Every structure is written in structure tokens, then in C-alpha cells.
Amino acid sequence: MFEVMIFATLNGLVTGLLLFMLASGLTLIFSMMGVLNFAHASFYMLGAYFAYSISLYLGFWPALIVAPVLVGVLGGLIERYGLRRVHKSGHVAELIFTFGLAFLIEEAVQFFWGRATKDYRSPDILDFPLFTLFGQNFPAYKAFMIFISIAIFIALYFVLTRTRIGIIIQAAITHPHTVANLGHNVPLIFMAVFGVGTGLAGLAGVIAGPVLTTFPGMAMVLGSIVFVIVVIGGLGSLAGALVASLLIGLLQSYAIASDLGMPDLLNWLGVSFERDHPLNDIWRLTLPQIAPILPYLLLVLVLIFRPSGLFGKRES
Amino acid sequence: MFKFAIWIIFAIVIVLLPQFFSSLLSVSILNQMAIAIVFALSYNMLLGQGGMLSFGHAVYFGLGGFMAVHALLGIEDGNYSFSVTLIPLVGGLFGLLAALFIGSFSTHKAGTVFAMISLGVGELIAASSLILVSFFGGEAGVSGDRTYGPTFFGYDFAQDLQVYYLAAAWMFIATLAMYLFTQTPAGRMANAVRDNPERAEFIGYSARRVRLISFVMAGFFAGIAGGLFAVNYEILTEQNLNAVTSGNVLLMAYIGGLGFFIGPMVGAVVLTLVNSVLSHYTTLWMLYLGIMFVLTVMFLPSGLTGFLMMHRTPWHLGKIRLLIKPYIVTAIPGAVFALSLVAMVEMAHTSEAEFVFLGASFNSSGPMSWGVLVAIALASFIALRRSLPQLREAWAQANAIETGDQP
């Protein structure tokens, strides 16, 4: 049990930090524009695909730099020529625009790279077990993922709180008009933040692609979970996003690793049931089975009891 | 009187349609349209009329549909016996119950909170449907047979055409009912709460109650659409209640136009048609659909119906003919530009050496054919750009109210 817990914690940490790289950009973009970007996970997918294509020619390490930059530039362009145009039609139109964008990017990826899973691999240099515990290997690549995610978090925190640019961004989020009156180009700041946010999602894609497989549905798989995190953490809260990411990552990881279920609960309660009972499916549920729906359950509960999220201040 | 005439004409048209489109394929497309119209209209009760953006409307469609299939199975097993014509009502009532339960906690707030709850509930139910195998049938879904029930005036609904009349009748009733709902105080209050919930509360209405009523009604009609789907296809799977279906109905309502009652109907008809026609010609139809959607949001924020309705002022001013020539001048290069892009996309995608597009044959790997297409695209794009100022000027003229000369 103990070794299972340790590995579940490590895997949960990897997933959680990866989710945070997506969630941090999403929540920054939300606090700026007041709109949740449905296409955020699509940029993550683009990151993985760009990195795959680049790594075919230049290898993994150049891809690690170039692919997120490309994704970020693309994101900035979409903000400048798409989202800004839709902005005047209101929030619903913006939300629907990003929704359509997510749809479009998925189709475009299928057009350029095909429907099949791509053989995008982690670099050979990281292809060794970092340590062996209770006979189980922990791959070095996962440690690398943790390292990158933490480095990004520290860098983001540093830039946002300690540099002049970060202070201007923070001011532009809360008081855009005042910042504009002080002579800063607020639309440019918005575009840059959108670009950096999508670039971060792209970076997450680059490092997650080899582990979570690179296929056209990868945005769908992660997209709604990232949404869940941002909402649970509280819209616009960076700290909330971190806590919620780790929470969801660990929760899912523990649920998958455990072998407990309703039968155990019923046994413990001393209740027995018949095999052909109509609710048989429910009585036989196990935790690994319901692991995929746990985040959504948590989301609905949080929204009912605390609509502003764990760390959130504003509600809509 | 005029409105009454419209409904009569609508009824006559749906009765006569299969006379003109009698092939098997077109009848099945008509069936799809009838289902899509009910579903899209029910969605617009939320988004268009109630201001609630839902990302999980397929839940009520799917749950209603699953219940309807189970009702069909019940008839088959001889547990009870009633006409298949009532099956959509079973779906509707189950959709209503589901909406009542979920709406009881999701309609506290509109806006982002509502949208997120609908997304969460949608994902939750879609994921649960794969776990709860006895009701949802897992990956394979649940299938039934619509021909076991007692015949309805001699019809046993074995043929698609008979199903069309069933679906069309339900579509007509549901459309009329949803239209009448917009005229009731509850429907009017839904608009008021959409526009300004605070004021509505001050008059003494509970915004939440008003939203819940709209939500439950939307669930009911989505369930009816699901029931019609069950009768038509005789199978329901996880696909019918997941995010893709929810996204599809949003697409239909938005492209048609949210601001008008008829908008989602237009969207449902156009998208069903586009889907079946495009998917017949190309495997990339989803890509075109996505592009169409994004362009609609960017350039026609009020949808197709909204675009048509923009012409009311020029029409009343009697100046609509001023627009005809500029429209043609813009539309021709626009169409050529779009077609040349489509040709390039298709040519890049094809694996065959000879690529035939609109009767023209290209060598798909030759630089010559690429050069020709790029040249056509560039030329038509320049022509398009040049025609726009004229169009803008004509539009301003057609909308200008002349003053001065008249006494």
C-alpha cells in the first residue's frame, strides 16, 4: 500500500503540475478579458504537434523552445485579428468564438497530421529510470516534467510580482483605463498576455506529448479538466489554479491507484445486495472506474456551494 | 391574422415536402431536420430567450432518447402497450424531470457560473453513461424496434416516410408550443431576466424561478427531440448526450441566429443540409463546418436570420434594389476566392495523382496546378477587397432616410 501511495503521489504531482501550466495561462487570460478561452487546450495540442514535427528535423531540445514560441505567436495573432473583433459583440459571442476555434483547431490538426496517433517520443538522453523504489522505476522524463513546471511557476510568479512588466499587467487587469491613460498600450498588453498564456499551453503540450500520447483528441481529454481547475480554484486566481491543479491531479491519481469501491463500502456497512438488482451497476462501482468523473463532480459541488471557487473573489 | 396564415403555410409545406423530396435519402434528411429543429428551438429557449449559455443541452436530448428507447423495449417485451406516436412524449417527460432536478441547483445564476455547471453536468452524465451499463448500454448503446406497438390508424411506422409524418407532426406541435411559450408571461419574463435580472427582481419576480421555468421547458422539448431521435434511429449511444452533440446544437442555434424565433430553425435546416451534402462530397466537411462557424461568429454575429433581418430597413424604404448590384459584384469574387481555397485544401489532402474539382482536372502534385490556383485565389481576393468600399457605400445609401424634400 505504501509504495502504491508514493507512486500515486508522484504521478499525481506530474499531472497536477502539467495541468497548472495550462490553468495558469487560462486564468490569466480570464482575469484580463473576462472570458474563458475554450480553445486553450487546443493550443496545448498544437504545441505537441508542432514539437513532433520540429523534433523530426531538429530533435527534441530545439522543439522545446521553438514550438511554444510558434504557438504563442499564433495565439497572439488570433487574439489580434479574431477575438478582438468579436469582443464588441459581447461575452457570449467571445465564448462561442473560442468554442468554434477549439473545434476548428481539432479539425485542422486532423487535416495536417492525420487522425492516427503520432510517434512523438521523449529524448533518448532522458530515457532512463531516475530511481527505483520497491522494484518500480520512476522515469527521468517525469522528473524533467516536474522540474520544467516548477521552473515555469517560479518564473511566472517572479515576472508578475517583481518586474515592471508584471506590475503593469496586474494593473491592466484591474484598471485597464487608468493604465491606458498613463500611456501604456493596453491592447498590446492583452495580446502579449494572450500570446504568453497560449505559449505556456504550447509548452505543456511539448512536454506532455510523449507521455500522454499525441493524437487529435488530446485537447478534448484535457480541455474540460483545465476548465474545471480554473473554476474550482476561483476564476482569475493564480494561487487557486495551483492548488486546484494539484488537488485534481492527486485526486485522480489516488483514485486510479486504489482498488476500493462500493462493494468494500457495502461490506463494511454490512449491507448485501443481489446481483440482478437494477442498481447493480452502482453497487459495483469502484474508485478507478469513477476517477474520470471525479473532477466534474467536484466542479458541480463547488459551483453549488461556493460559486466563486476556492480562492476566487468575483463570480462572473 | 398574418401570423395565423404563416402557421397554416408552414403546416402545408411540411405535409407537401416529401412529395417533392421522395427519395430514401431525402426523407431521412427531412427526418433529421425535423429532429434538429425541435432540438435547436429548445436550446434557444435557454440561450436566445433566457440568456443562459449551456454547454450540456445534449443531456436532456440524450436522457429523453434513452428513456424513449427503453419505452420501445417495454412495448416489445409486452410489459405495456401504447402507440409509438406517444414515444416522443415519454422522452419529453423524462427530459423535463432531468431538467427539473439539474435546474434546481444550476439556475441560481446565469452567465459563467451557469455555463460551467452545464459543462460539468454534461461531462458528468456523458462519463457516467459509460459506467451505468444497464441503462445506457455502455459503448454499444441501447437499441429498440419501433414497429411492435399497436398500429396508428393502420400505420406501423416501418417505413421512413411514415416516421417523417410522425416527426413532422411532433415538430409542428412542439414549434407551435414553443412559439406560444414565448408569448406567455413566463416567456416574456425570461426575456426580462435575460436582459436585467436585478430589475426583474425589483418588480417582484424571482429571477431563479423564471430561469428554472425556461430551463425545465427547454429540457422537455429537448427530450421530445430525443424521443423523435429514438423513434427515427431506434438506437441511442453515448454520442447522443456528450459534448459533441451539445456543441452541435449551439452551432445550429448560433449560425441560424439567436435573436429570432425562426433563427434556430433556419440553422437546423441549413446545418443538417450542409452536413449531409458536404459529407457526401468530401471527408473534410467538419473542417469547413468549423471555418463556417468561426467566420459566422466574426462577421455575422446575429446569424443568418439576423443578416436577412438587417435588410428590413432598406426594404421598407424601397431601396433594396440599390443593393443588388453591389452584392453581385462582391459575391462573385468572394465565391471564386472561397472555391479556390477549397480546391487547394482538397488538392493538398488528396492522395490521387489526378484531382478533379468542379469539372476541372488538376495534376495534384504539379507546381503548375498550384500556381494556377494560387493565382486565381490572389486575383479574386484583390477583386473582393476592391468591391468592399462600393458595397459599404451602397449599404449606407440604402439605409439612409431622405429628409428635406418631402413636405
Residue B170 C-beta-side C-alpha neighbours within 13 Å = 35
Alpha-carbon distance A23 to A6, whole Å?
25
Question: Which are the contacts of A125, defined by CB distance < 8 A and separation ≥ 6?
Answer: none
B293 touches chain A (CB under 8 A): yes
Strand partners, A261: A286
Q: All 3 cell numbers of residue B331?
A: 459575391
Residue A212 C-beta-side C-alpha neighbours within 13 Å = 23
Give Cα separations from B364 to A107, A114, B43, B346, B354 (angstroms): 22, 18, 43, 9, 6
Contact B116 A227 (CB under 8 A): yes
Give the residue numbers in A contacting B (CB under 8 Å), as ranges.
36, 82, 85-86, 89, 91-93, 95-97, 99-101, 103-104, 106-108, 110-111, 220, 224, 227-228, 231, 235, 278, 280-282, 285, 289-290, 292-293, 296-297, 299-300, 303-304, 307, 315-316
Q: Shortest Cα distance from A134 to chain B (angstroms)?
A: 33
In a domain, A75, yes or no: yes
Residues in chain A: 316
Residues in chain B: 407
pLDDT, average across residues B24-41? 92
Q: DSSP secondary-structure letter at A82?
A: I
pLDDT computed for residue B128 by the predictor: 84
In a domain, A91, yes or no: yes
A33 against B114, higher pLDDT: B114
For A237-253, the pLDDT digits (tens) are 788 888 899 998 888 88
Alpha-carbon distance A175 to B387, whole Å?
41
CATH of the domain at A217: 1.10.3470
In a domain, A135, yes or no: yes
Residue B152 in 3-state DSSP?
strand
Q: Shortest Cα distance from A316 to chain B (angstroms)?
A: 5
Give Cα separations from A113 to A61, A106, B32 (angstroms): 21, 10, 32
For A107-158, the pLDDT digits (tens) are 888 888 888 887 777 777 767 776 777 767 777 888 888 888 888 888 888 8
Alpha-carbon distance B152 to B163, whole Å?
12
Contact A304 B290 (CB under 8 A): no
Q: Shortest Cα distance from B267 to chain A (angstroms)?
A: 15
Alpha-carbon distance A233 to A242, whole Å?
8
- Amino acid present at B51: G
In a domain, A271, yes or no: no
B358 φ/ψ angles, rounded to the nearest 5 degrees: 50, 40
Strand partners, A118: A214
Q: Is the pLDDT of residue B203 over 60?
A: yes
In a domain, A227, yes or no: no
Contact B134 A104 (CB under 8 A): no
In a domain, A295, yes or no: no
The pLDDT > 70 percentage for chain B reads 98
B83 against A284, higher pLDDT: B83
The number of C-beta contacts closer than 8 angstroms across A and B is 112
Substitution target from A293, A294, A304 for chain B, most B beta carbons within 10 A: A293
Alpha-carbon distance A48 to A219, whole Å?
10
B395 touches chain A (CB under 8 A): no
Pairing mode, strands B360-363 and B354-357: antiparallel
8 Å CB contact between A48 and A179? no
For A83-96, the pLDDT digits (tens) are 888 888 777 788 88
| Average pLDDT of chain B to the nearest whole number | 86
Contact A227 B119 (CB under 8 A): yes
Nearest to A296 among B123, B134, B301 (CB): B123
Give how many domains chain A has, as a whole number. 1
Substitution target from A300, A304, A306, A313 for chain B, most B beta carbons within 10 A: A300
For B137-184, the pLDDT digits (tens) are 878 888 888 877 777 777 777 788 888 999 999 999 999 999 999 999
Supply the range of the domain harboring residue A64.
Answer: 2-221+236-259
Tens digit of each residue's pLDDT, chain A (316 residues): 677 778 788 888 888 988 888 888 888 888 777 777 888 999 999 999 998 888 888 888 888 888 899 999 999 999 888 888 888 877 778 888 888 898 889 888 888 888 888 777 777 776 777 677 776 777 788 888 888 888 888 888 888 888 888 888 888 877 888 888 888 888 888 888 889 889 989 998 888 888 887 888 888 888 888 888 888 888 777 888 888 999 988 888 888 777 777 677 777 777 666 666 666 666 667 777 777 788 888 888 887 787 777 776 654 4
Substitution target from B298, B346, B350 for chain A, most A beta carbons within 10 A: B298
B193 touches chain A (CB under 8 A): no
